[in-house]
Amino acid sequence: MPDTVPAAQAEAAEATRCRDAGDAARDSRDWAGAEQGYRAYLALEPADAALWVQLGHALKEQGKLAEAEAAYVQASTLAPTEADTQLQLGHLHKLAGRRTQALAAYAAALRLAPLRAAHDEMVALDDADMAALLLAEWNARKPADCIYLEVTDLFVYLHDHRTVSGIQRVQLGLVAHVLALPPAERARYAFVIRQGEEPGLLLLEESRVAALVQHVSGHQVERPTLDRLLEAAKRGAGRALPQPGQCLLVLGAFWVGGSVAPAYAAAKAAGASIGCYIYDLIPATHPEYCDTNLVVAFTRALAEGLAFFDFLLAISEYSAGEVRRWLAAQGLPAIPVEAVPLAHDFRLPGQLAAPVPARWPTAVAALQGRDYVLCVCTIEARKNHAYLFQLWRHLLEQGVAVPELVLVGRFGWRVADLYAQLRATGFLGGRIRVLHDLSDAELALLYQHCRFTIFPSFVEGWGLPVGESLTNGKVCIASNTSSLPEVGGELVDYIDPLNLHSGIAAVRRYLEDPAALAAREAEIRDHFQPRGWAEVGDRFFATARRLQAAPPRPAQLARLPQGALFRPAALVDHDVPAATAALPLRLLLASGWLPPEARGVRSDPKAAPALLRFITDAAEGAPLLLFLRLRVEDAAPGTLLRLAPRLGEPREVVLGRPRPGLVGPGRALSLRLHAAADADGLVELALSLEAPMGTRMRAKPGRLLLQCLAHAAADNLPARLELMEALLLESEG
């Protein structure tokens, strides 16, 4: 026995060495070296299905297709329920030109898991019907009342940041709540993300979401581990399409990750209801405090989302009221809006018992044993840090022995003047200190040892720093505006963020009267009852379930007034005013279009025809004239361009050879055609290209680039003149 154990350990170590050598060769694209390392490993560990797949990859890259197929088959034998192995077999058959076998392997993969790659490959091999059927079978396995929780924003944020902010913490809290449910109840939920501006949703494996949440909720988040978990979750994702009775519920920042219109339109068309958790409307209601790009992106996404949302949840009564008032001001139909207030403490269960170190971490060590007042929030104009600078300066001038003011947060937008003042005064002679990117454990130390906290923000959707301060038993001086009184109730000392004397009086009281500070802390200790994630989660999902039960409302359509010019390029132009909520013009691109770009919007050759759809303000039945300016790119001479209004006269244009001296790529076309609206004012136009005989198998099919669209009733001369003038100016510009 003594000799057996060292031998087994030596064999395991040798296997690991061979596997690592294979991985290193693979990463450097040395496929022969990878094959050698993996074969040596598998000679010692022949039951490792995943490594048989890796060997198959190495062989396939060398053109050894028969050996690669044998490796994949061996992996499939060892792990018959692993969908990725069938996917790889499909790729190999496709590479070898065996279409029937490739389709069979892709179908086998789709029967094991709703892999988007298998679905897309079947579509590319002209078996879209079977791909759709297999995917529908997966969707049918979800409970009839399943709620698909969209966490796109969380994935986008974690791709760039290691520590999470408020909105992402909310998502983690709600996701963790679902993951902690009993299995039968947990099965009524699924996690999805949008995939850029494609129409579908990606269904995430629950176990991979759980692993990601566990890591991000820990005391130490490692960037390499985080990247690996994000990639694993996306790589293992399948396709999802919520069905009637089911619900798509957006948990995070809906304006992040590209246009929401394609994914939400697909879910709505399938019969699902759509809800969204609203944090605030500050970029729309208080744009003076926000970066211009955020204002444009937010208001555009809000306009698009409101065309599909059936109900809204809000993080505070204040935010809920703001949403209702804003909908009314925009002339939009009222939809259900209910408040589900947030937790007072955003720490997750894995973070609640952070150890208290004897020596403080380096990032905050300079504050150990010192007297300081704490302000935690991003340093931006809305948070009103300029107020604090002036407050501390006045106290110093009055001869008050002020402690340090510690600002925890990154510098954001619209604070250039404040930063210049801080630099010019040496951060008020060292009385102001700025820290950022602190861990939860480091931030907890600062809360526990500060004199008190202060938060003079102008407007908030919730007010996390107020809740954190109370949770840590610390007195908080906060603005008396927006949602903040909801968070703190009677246990917070409120000030007017526009009146500096209000803040000076409140701060001086607690600096000069330690007994008053101790009494207020005792009051917090005796009366504060923090709301935790369990309570928030219970109320959140109970409210969502109740609202989900109502019949979904129809999707709203974009309205295009007569004489107005729709330029798809404007959808990505941040130098123009944001679209109003009543005119979500991105919805004009109904289907079959790629994401808009600076030159216009291109049709998707894989999703022909391309559809345009809008509501006109012309009288019912009035003859309409549609005006289009577009280019046809990569099309052979003789290509047929079809323009087919749903009501009206279709038109066909046969493309000739480009004229010498043509400016720009492709063929420029300015077209006019006759159409009409239906009884609801709907106008729809289908555009498609048909290649001439003999060129149907071209590797690069032709496609359209739409540059502008407009319309007017045939008898509306003022609108037509306005339109002609706009088109003329457009062409000259």
DSSP 578: P
Instruction: Read off the DSSP letter of residue 351.
Output: G
197, pLDDT greater than 90: no
Q: How many angstroms separate the CA atoms of 416 and 426, rounded? A: 15
Q: Which helix (H) or strand (E) holds 546?
A: helix 533-548
Q: How confident is the model at residue 355 (pLDDT cuts 50, 70, 90)?
A: low
Contact status, residue 164 vs residue 121, Cβ threshold 8 Å: no
Q: How far apart are the first and last CA of the chain?
A: 86
Contact of 193 with 204, CB cutoff 8 Å: yes
Burial class (CB in 10 A: 0-12, 13-18, 19+), 508: middle
Strands 703-713 and 147-150: unpaired
- Collapsing DSSP to helix, strand or coil, 67 comes out as helix
Rounded Cα distance between 278 and 538, Å, is 18
Say how far apart CA 628 and CA 704 lie, in whole Å.
Answer: 12
Element (H, E) at 158: helix 152-160
Domain layout of the chain by residue ranges: 4-128, 147-339, 351-529, 568-732
Asked which of 154-158, 286-290, 551-555, 581-585 is least confident by mean pLDDT, the reply is 581-585
- In CATH terms, the fold of domain 147-339 is Rossmann fold (3.40.50)
For 720-729, what is each residue's pLDDT tens digit?
Answer: 888 887 777 6
Q: Which residues contact 312 (CB under 8 A, 6 or more apart)?
A: 275, 276, 277, 278, 320, 323, 335, 336, 337, 338
Q: Which fold has domain 351-529?
A: Rossmann fold (3.40.50)
Taking residue 675's Cβ as centre, other Cβ atoms within 10 Å add up to 21
pLDDT at 699: 44
Is residue 175 over pLDDT 90?
yes
Q: Rounded to whole angstroms, how far apart are CA atoms 319 and 541?
A: 18
For residues 512-529, average pLDDT = 97
3-class DSSP assignment, residue 288? helix
Cα dihedral 523, 529, 532, 537 sign: negative
* Same fold flag, 147-339 and 568-732: no
C-beta separation of 299 from 284 below 8 A? yes
Distance CA 123, CA 126 (A): 5
Ramachandran region, residue 221 (left: φ > 0; alpha: ψ -120 to 50; beta: rest): beta
pLDDT of res. 471: 94
CB 455 within 8 A of CB 377: yes
Residue with tokens 């500070």: 517
Specify which residues 675 forms β-bridges with: 624, 648
Q: Give pLDDT tens digits for 671-686.
A: 999 999 999 999 999 9
- One-letter amino acid for residue 314 of the chain: A
Torsion over CA of 249, 250, 252 and 257, rounded to 10 degrees?
150
Q: Please compute the mean of the pLDDT values over residues 169-185 and round it to a whole number.
A: 94
Answer for the pair 15, 46: CB distance below 8 angstroms, yes or no.
no
| CA 496 – CA 391 distance, rounded (Å) | 13
CA distance 471 to 524: 9
Least confident among 39-53, 68-82, 356-370: 356-370
Q: Which helix (H) or strand (E) holds 249?
A: strand 247-250
Q: Which of 666, 479, 689, 513 is nearest to 604 (CA)?
A: 689
> For residue 115, how far is the Cα from the chain centroid?
21
Judge whether residue 531 has pLDDT over 50: yes
Residue 663 is predicted with a pLDDT of 41
How far is the C-alpha of 114 from the C-alpha of 507, rounded, in Å? 59
Average of per-residue pLDDT across 465-493? 97
Is the pLDDT reported for residue 709 higher than 70? Answer: yes
The verdict on domain 4-128 having CATH code 1.25.40.10 is yes
Query: Can you read off the two tokens belonging to residue 342?
Result: 């947030």
Report the range out of 70-74, 110-114, 720-724 with the highest average pLDDT: 70-74
Structure-block tokens of residue 568 = 């798809």
Exposed, middle or buried: residue 429 (CB in 10 Å: 0-12, 13-18, 19+)? exposed
The sign one gets for the Cα dihedral 486, 489, 491, 497 is positive
Beta 189-194 vs 201-204: how paired, if at all? Answer: antiparallel
390/292: higher pLDDT = 390
- What stretches of 567-650 adopt beta strand conformation (E)? 589-591, 601-602, 610-615, 623-633, 640-645
More confident residue, 119 or 709: 709
For the stretch 313-328, pLDDT in tens is 999 999 999 999 999 9
Instruction: Report which of residues 118 and 642 the model is more confident about.
Output: 642
- The Cα-based distances of 117 to 47, 83, 87, 132, 401 in angstroms read 26, 11, 8, 13, 65
**pTM confidence score:** 0.82
In the predicted structure, residue 264 carries a pLDDT above the cut 80: yes
Residue 694: per-residue pLDDT: 59
The residue that leads in pLDDT, 570 or 336, is 336
pLDDT at 48: 92
DSSP β-bridge partners for residue 612 = 589, 685
The CA angle 447-450-455, to the nearest 5 degrees, is 75
539 CB-near residues (< 8 Å, 6+ apart) = 340
Q: What is the pLDDT of residue 154?
A: 95
CB atoms under 10 Å from CB of 411, counted, come to: 16
- Average of per-residue pLDDT across 260-274: 94
Cβ neighbours for 389, distance < 8 A, ≥ 6 positions apart? 418, 421, 422, 428, 432
Is 292 in contact with 574 (CB distance < 8 Å)? yes
CATH 2.60.40 fits 568-732, yes or no: no
Task: Flag whether pLDDT at 338 surpasses 60.
Answer: yes
Judged against a pLDDT cut of 50, whether residue 548 lies above it is answered with yes
Beta 640-645 vs 682-690: how paired, if at all?
antiparallel
Average pLDDT score over the chain: 90
pLDDT at residue 643 tops 80: yes
Q: Tell me the backbone φ, ψ of residue 126, rounded to 5 degrees.
A: 65, 35
CA distances from 355 to 219, 358, 442, 623 (A): 9, 10, 10, 74
C-alpha distances (whole Å) from 689 to each of 355, 706, 709 are 66, 13, 18
Q: Which of the four pLDDT bands, split at 50, 70 and 90, describes residue 731?
A: low
Predicted pLDDT of residue 723: 82
Q: Using CA atoms, how far apart are residues 586 and 589, in angstroms rounded to an integer? A: 6
SS3 string of 381-433? Answer: HHHCHHHHHHHHHHHHHCCCCCCEEEEECCECCCCHHHHHHHHHCHHHHHCEE
The stretch 491-497 carries a mean pLDDT of 98
Question: Within 10 A of 670 (CB to CB), how many other CB atoms are there?
Answer: 12
